[in-house]
Amino acid sequence: MNATRHSLYQQLFALLQQREVELRAILETDDARALHSATGDTEVTDFKEIAAHGVAAAVEDMQAAHAAAELSQVIAAQRRLDDGTYGFCAACGEPIAEQRLLVMPQAPYCMACQSYRESSDERHGPASRT
């Protein structure tokens, strides 16, 4: 590995570590919120407030689900860094563009394969997504 690539990987590793910390904080906050809600410490006075709490809880649950999914991608990217497969597309094996990795260091696919995956998912509908 040349010095430039090594320096880039160090930068990307730091970005992955930072994002992991951020995502874990989001998930810990969500766990604390869920615990607080489960203990019934909130006082709700009318139906509007009940609806507002329900919507807020749904949004927070969706944010937590996205954070958990992204955290698993970040951890997988850290494993790829450790095993030497980082920076190469998991589908075609070609290098992933440095610009893409700088924006999304956990990206497992090059732009072409990611686009193909997304367009394939759209053609087959939501039932085909896992």
State percent of the chain over pLDDT 70: 85
pTM to 2 decimal places: 0.73
Q: Do 73 and 124 belong to one domain?
A: no
Instruction: Provide the number of structural domains found in the chain.
Output: 2
Distance of alpha carbon 25 from alpha carbon 33, whole angstroms: 12
Which pLDDT band holds residue 123 (cuts at 50, 70, 90)?
A: confident
Q: Do 130 and 79 belong to one domain?
A: no
Q: Which residue has the higher pLDDT, 29 or 89?
A: 89
Q: Do 80 and 94 belong to one domain?
A: no
Average pLDDT score over residue span 97-103? 95
Which pLDDT band holds residue 44 (cuts at 50, 70, 90)?
A: low
CATH code at position 46: 1.10.287
Instruction: Name the phi and psi angles at 125, rounded to 5.
Output: 80, 175
Q: Do 68 and 128 belong to one domain?
A: no
Average pLDDT score over residue span 83-87? 94
CA nearest to 42, candidates 31, 55, 53, 27: 53
Range of the domain at 19: 1-86
